Amino acid sequence: MSVDGCDIRSRDPEVQWHISAFHAPRHGADHTDQVRRLRELRARILYDNGRRPGFRDADGAHVDDQELDYGAWHFIARRRPDGPVLGYIRLSTPATGELFQTRAHLGEQRYEQLLATEGAGVDEAYEHSRLVVEHRARKLGLGAYLNAVAIGAAHHLGAKIMIGTSGTKDGQDRFHGRFGFHPVPGTRCYVERYTEEVVILLHRTAAGAGEYTDLVDRMRDEFPALVTDHPGTWPSARFETCGAPPALVAADIPDRDGWQPVLFEPGRADDHEALTALLESGRVTAVHDTLTTQLAELIGCREPDRRYTGAELDRKIDEQLDGTEAWAYGTWVWYPWSGRLVHVLPREEFRLVRSDRNRDKIQRPQQRRLLDRRIGVVGLSVGNSAAVTLALEGIGGSFRLADFDELSLSNMNRLRAGVHHLGVGKAVICARQMFEIDPYLDIEIFTSGLNDSNMSTFFLGDQAPIDLLVEECDTPYVKIAAREYARTLGIPVVMDCNDRGMLDIERFDTEPDRPLLHGRIGGLRAADLPELTAQAKSDLILAMVDAERISPELAASFGQIGRTLSSWPQLASDVALGGALVTSAARRILLGSPCASGRFYIDLDTLIAPEYNTADALDGALA
- Boundary (domain end) residue, out of 297, 321, 354: 354
Single-letter amino acid code for the residue at 378: V
pLDDT for 604-615, tens place per residue?
999 999 999 988
H/E run at residue 485: helix 476-489
Q: Are 160 and 16 in contact (CB under 8 A)?
A: no
Please give the tally of structural domains in the chain.
3
Torsions phi, psi for 89 (to 5 deg): -150, 150
Same domain assignment for residues 385 and 344: no
Pick the residue with more confidence: 29 or 68? 68
CA distance 98 to 113: 14
Residue 365: its pLDDT value, please?
95
Range 499-513 average pLDDT: 97
Residue 524 domain flag: yes
Torsions phi, psi for 486 (to 5 deg): -65, -40
Same domain assignment for residues 321 and 416: no
Q: 118 in the Ramachandran plot: left (φ > 0), alpha (ψ -120 to 50) or beta? A: alpha
Residue 395 domain flag: yes
Residue 615 domain flag: no
* pLDDT value at 360 more than 80: yes
- Boundary (domain end) residue, out of 226, 247, 275: 226
Same domain assignment for residues 125 and 209: yes
CA distance 425 to 381: 10
Residue 236 domain flag: no
Residue 16: its pLDDT value, please?
83
CA distance 443 to 426: 14
Q: 296 in the Ramachandran plot: left (φ > 0), alpha (ψ -120 to 50) or beta? A: alpha
Strand pairing class (468-471; 598-601): unpaired
Helical pair 382-393 and 572-591, crossing angle rounded to 10 deg:
50
CA nearest neighbour of 146 among 12, 19, 234, 47? 19
pLDDT for 381-412, tens place per residue?
999 999 999 999 999 999 999 999 999 999 99
Residue 230: its pLDDT value, please?
64
Same domain assignment for residues 436 and 581: yes
pLDDT for 419-448, tens place per residue?
999 999 999 999 999 999 999 999 999 999
Cα R_g (the chain), whole angstroms: 32
Same domain assignment for residues 41 and 133: yes
Same domain assignment for residues 172 and 304: no
Same domain assignment for residues 32 and 139: yes
Binned at pLDDT 50, 70 and 90, residue 129 comes out as very high
Residue 411 domain flag: yes
Kindly report the CATH number assigned to the domain that includes residue 30.
Answer: 3.40.630.30
Residue 252: its pLDDT value, please?
83
Averaged pLDDT of the chain: 92
Q: What percent of the chain has pLDDT over 90?
A: 82
Same domain assignment for residues 405 and 526: yes
Range 500-524 average pLDDT: 96
Residue 131 domain flag: yes
CA distance 181 to 62: 30
H/E run at residue 216: helix 213-226
pLDDT for 446-473, tens place per residue?
999 999 999 999 999 988 999 999 999 9
Residue 160: its pLDDT value, please?
95
Range 201-228 average pLDDT: 93
Residue 541: its pLDDT value, please?
87
CA distance 507 to 494: 9
Same domain assignment for residues 417 and 340: no
Binned at pLDDT 50, 70 and 90, residue 1 comes out as very low
Same domain assignment for residues 435 and 496: yes
* pLDDT value at 497 more than 80: yes
CA distance 548 to 551: 9
> What size, in residues, is the chain?
623
Residue 250: its pLDDT value, please?
80
Same domain assignment for residues 188 and 48: yes
Peptide bond into 403 cis (omega under 30): no
Three-state SS string across 284-312, please?
A: CCEEEECHHHHHHHHHHHHCCCCCCCHHH
Residue 233: its pLDDT value, please?
59
| Boundaries of domain holding 520 | 377-607
> DSSP alpha helices (H): ranges in 7-51?
32-47
Residue 365 domain flag: no
Task: Give 80's DSSP letter.
Answer: S
Residue 356: its pLDDT value, please?
95
CA distance 60 to 111: 35
CA distance 303 to 319: 14
- Boundary (domain end) residue, out of 163, 198, 226: 226
Pick the residue with more confidence: 32 or 30? 32
Tell whether pTM > 0.95. no
Burial class (CB in 10 A: 0-12, 13-18, 19+), 216: buried
CA distance 316 to 314: 5
Kindly report the CATH number assigned to the domain that includes residue 539.
Answer: 3.40.50.720
Same domain assignment for residues 50 and 177: yes
Residue 11: its pLDDT value, please?
43
Number of alpha helices (DSSP H) and beta strands (DSSP E) in the chain = 21, 19
Q: What percent of the chain has pLDDT over 70?
A: 94
